Amino acid sequence: MLFNSGCMLGWADKISGQTIRVDGPSHAFTLLEPIGVVGQILPWNFPTYMFITKLACALTCGNTVVVKPAEQTPLSALFCAHLISEAGIPAGVVNVIPGYGPTAGAAIGRHMDIDKLVFTGSTEVGRLLMVASAKSNLKSLTLELGGKSPLIIFDDANLDEAVAVADSGLFFNMGQVCTASSRIYVQEGIYNEFLEKAVERARQKVIGDPFTPGVDHGPQVDQAQFEKIMHYIALGKEEGAKLMVGGKRHGSKGMFVEPTIFADVKDDMSILQDEIFGPVMCVSKFKTVEEVIERANGTRYGLAAGVMTKDIDVANQVTRALKAGTLWINMYNIIDPSLPFGGYKMSGFGRENGIEGLKGYMQTKSVMTKLVSPSWL
């Protein structure tokens, strides 16, 4: 996280416009200026990381910020605000306002003095914020919304590596990750062996208090998220997907969901189309490159995707054809602050991180000056 903020803040003295050649006796240039007051609404799954990432971009460009942390996880943002005050940042530059989405979040969305809104969360709330912007001052938006990301594993991939990547890509943070590889497409030649190894790996996970050494699978964030996940697991069974492992609550206390794997998942099933945001892996079989490209693009989301193969031509073909903002080849869920991050389709618009992320926090102003023609012309 320190590297992330340092990466952004390193741009602070390097942001500049351009001198542009234009027709006629004029000198023209552009200025990059702060957009003004930025509202930032954070998700609950990575509260500290999201706070630092978004804040670094906004401050680097000279803006002031109003941050609303998720109601489930406000303490990290409040503690960071305490550290910011101790560091001597002037009052009013960074403002943290805890509260609920329908009240505090909605107020930020419709406030006439907020010039820019950055939101990470569900597609449904993203829609509400677009309406709020339209009904207020037409504040610009950067929205990073839902995901249902595919991981495509070809026959020639290193099988053990592919199993490990699929496991961490989905079960990391108990599946509560926007880029989670919740759709696993495995080529038919290794499908059964992949399932066998993936199921065994899921069975070996130690479930419990994540602060206990040796535990690698903790609880869901709250009761509502737990119930949503259990609803989708029941729906997967009803729709005919094959439950290979998990599918139940772990223990009698806490919001623990067993790591769950469904096999033979069809493209029209709810568990494959909807963002569950939990430890539910959907595995499907495919034959050809062309088939899997079409199927991988067959959802309303387009946040991320992954490809496991030793064939560079296949990797290039697939990554260029997939409609997703971030693609990983023979790896997954590696985020670098130097790279822009955002989605296609209903996964949102705009980019965060990198120079592309900084552009969203600035206004571009064009300036032209009339020049007096030299006497010798």
pLDDT of residue 12: 85
At 166-217, the pLDDT tens digits run 999 999 999 999 999 999 999 999 999 999 999 999 999 999 999 999 999 9
Q: Please tell me what DSSP assigns to residue 352.
A: B
CA atoms of 150 and 186, how far apart (whole Å): 10
pLDDT band with cut points at 50, 70 and 90 for residue 36: very high
The answer to whether 202 and 246 are in contact (CB under 8 A) is: yes
Residue 144 designated active-site:
yes
Domains of the chain: 2-145+347-370 (3.40.605.10), 150-329 (3.40.309.10)
Q: Tell me the backbone φ, ψ of residue 214, rounded to 5 degrees.
A: 95, -15
Taking the C-alpha atoms of residue 72 and residue 193, their distance in angstroms, rounded to an integer, is 40
Inter-axis angle of helices 159-171 and 191-203, nearest 10: 50
- Predicted confidence at residue 3, as pLDDT, reads 47
**66-89 b/e with 16+ CB inside 10 Å = b?**
bbbbbeebbebbeebbeeeeeeee
- Indicate which residue of 144, 258, 275, 352 is catalytic: 144
Tell me the average pLDDT across 49-78.
Answer: 96
pLDDT digits (tens, 9 = 90+) for 93-126: 999 999 999 999 999 999 999 999 999 999 999 9
CA distance 260 to 243: 8
Model-level pTM greater than 0.75?
yes
Number of other residues whose CB lies within 10 A of the CB of residue 29:
15
pLDDT interval class at 14 (50, 70, 90): confident
The pairs formed by 338-343 with CB atoms below 8 angstroms and a separation of 24 or more are: 338/7, 341/144, 342/142, 342/144, 342/303, 343/144, 343/145, 343/147, 343/301, 343/302, 343/303, 343/304
